[in-house]
Amino acid sequence: MGPDGYLNQEGRIPNNQFGTKNSYEKGLEAVQAGRYEQALSFMQEHIKTEGEDSQVLNDIGAILHCHGRSEEAIPYFLRARKLNGESAEILWNLSEIYLATGRPREAAYLFDEMKKMKILNVDILNRTANVFLNQNNKAGAIEMLLQSLYICPKQEILMPMLKVIKSKRPKIAFFCGGDGMNFLNEICEFLKERFEVRIFDGNNEEQLYELMKWSDISWFEWCTNLAVIGSRKPKVCENIIRLHRYEAYEQWPVEVNWSNIDVLINVGNSFVKSALIQWIPDIENKTNFLTIPSGVNLERFSFIDKHRGKNIVFLSNLRLVKNPSMILQCMQKLHYIDPEYKLFFAGQFQDGSLEQYLKHMVNALGLQDVVFFENWQRDVHVWLKDKHYVASTSIIESQGMGLLEAMACGLKPVIHNFPGASEIFKQEYLFNIAEEFCQHILSDSYEPVQYRRYVEEKYPLKKQLAEINNIFIQLEAKIESEKSGKMPYNYSSTGVKDKFSNKPDMSLLNVL
């Protein structure tokens, strides 16, 4: 066993590395003679007299496995790993034992660490996928095969296998309006690797309903008109609505037929939820309500460990809810203290009167040489390279993705304390009045590595996708249970909906 084999080709156990240990050596000799029970007795005696040793525990596990007692071997490998977590041999043996005993999920939990040790290979991934398939776990199988392809993309034989597995999983339809796809691109690409996916491109209710009937799961991005229309059609599939922020302050949620909605995903903080509850006090009894923050694709936003500078950015289209007039008041005070600081707006004006006002106030406050309107930036990570601070004065945000993306690039966040801000950001990033804004900017505290790490730990894209994948896996189980006439595991015997687990199985997503 092991990547190079615990037992060598002649079937002999390697020489021990611990000097003279009579009972252990007797055990090795007994193994070579094929006297396994005697070998186990000698090695267990060694443990009693000399104390637990990772190599001896590993050897006992290997003997038990080779003697057809794999279940008994597992505790020995676990104890060996606890004593020596850096042993590639022990880790490999444990993964093999898990596969041999039909525990592919436990094996998959080890793959991140095996990857770090550079012992993970396509063979064990493909074999794990096969065990998952034998257990009818299509989700687990597809994750293993995707990771196998990630390591070795030239495995053409896997492509038809993936296609067949996807064809046996639920079909997914996405419905979004306006610029919804900007929020869905990464989610769609992720799910297209795992399911058959279609995106609604029709223009009437009949076409919308036809796509719903094709799908097993329909996802409505934004809780607005399309979600209302879909919810009011006779139920033909599982339905998901994802609510961002502004919809919670509008009348749309009241018009949704929530009895036809299986999952409501809230991107926003608790204040967004409170606003929604004002419209629908019993929303959590009507559907499975989950909060899943958006995640930052850290590969798209490269980090630069820069020194303090004097360029401040305001990343947002300019409308009243973003409260851009407040940032001008803050800049006026900062400019009085240090006239070298500059503010760069990156966003389009979405209100003519606001545009007129802001440009007027820039001149009225004497900021025309330090405030610049640079429109929306397509390659914002490139544009941010020579910037040092990211500021926000919004009166409400669901999360503030632009802020998190800038932090991932190493910019220091300076954020007006909007309702729910302290749930998303550290208190040290927040300010209430213009004087505090200036204190944050002028402070000697400037730690780009910490800003990046904060995003890596709390809001990586991988975490968001894992939680979303978990929803689809649970809905898949529900669909299959209904087809087989069995009660799905996440529903009670009374038929009342229980909350979906919000703990994703990250072990199956280490391909990302």
Whether 269 and 317 map to the same domain: the answer is: no
- Cα Rg of the chain (Å, integer): 29
Structural domains in the chain (count): 3
Whether 317 and 442 map to the same domain: the answer is: yes
Contact 92, 2 (CB under 8 A): yes
Domain-embedded: residue 107: no
Whole-angstrom distance, CA of residue 79 vs CA of residue 377 = 54
Range of the domain at 5: 1-101
Instruction: Report pTM.
Output: 0.84
For the chain, first and last CA: distance in Å? 28
Domain-embedded: residue 442: yes
| DSSP bridge pairs for 440 | none
* Nearest Cα residue to 63 out of 91, 46, 83, 43: 43
Element (H, E) at 373: strand 371-373
Domain-embedded: residue 162: no
Q: 111 is written with which tokens?
A: 């793959």
Whether 484 and 454 map to the same domain: the answer is: no
Whole-angstrom distance, CA of residue 87 vs CA of residue 119 = 11
Whether 173 and 82 map to the same domain: the answer is: no
Whole-angstrom distance, CA of residue 251 vs CA of residue 321 = 18
Contact 241, 256 (CB under 8 A): yes
The pLDDT profile of the chain, 512 residues, written as one tens digit per residue, is 444 444 332 333 444 444 444 788 888 888 888 888 888 888 888 888 888 889 999 999 998 998 889 999 999 999 999 999 899 999 999 999 999 999 999 999 999 999 999 999 999 999 999 999 999 999 999 999 999 999 999 999 999 999 999 999 999 999 997 666 777 999 999 999 999 999 999 889 999 999 999 999 999 999 999 999 999 999 999 999 999 988 999 999 999 999 999 999 999 899 999 999 999 999 999 999 999 999 999 999 999 999 999 999 999 999 999 999 999 999 999 999 999 999 999 999 999 999 999 999 999 999 999 999 998 888 898 999 999 999 999 999 989 999 999 999 999 999 999 999 999 999 999 999 999 999 999 999 999 999 999 999 999 999 999 999 999 999 999 999 988 776 544 433 233 334 445 455 544 444 33
Whole-angstrom distance, CA of residue 105 vs CA of residue 505 = 9
3-state secondary structure of 3: coil
Whether 282 and 391 map to the same domain: the answer is: no
Whether 385 and 290 map to the same domain: the answer is: no
CATH number of domain containing 438:
3.40.50.2000
CATH number of domain containing 9:
1.25.40.10
In whole angstroms, what separates CA 135 from the centre of its chain?
A: 25
* Nearest Cα residue to 391 out of 407, 376, 375: 407
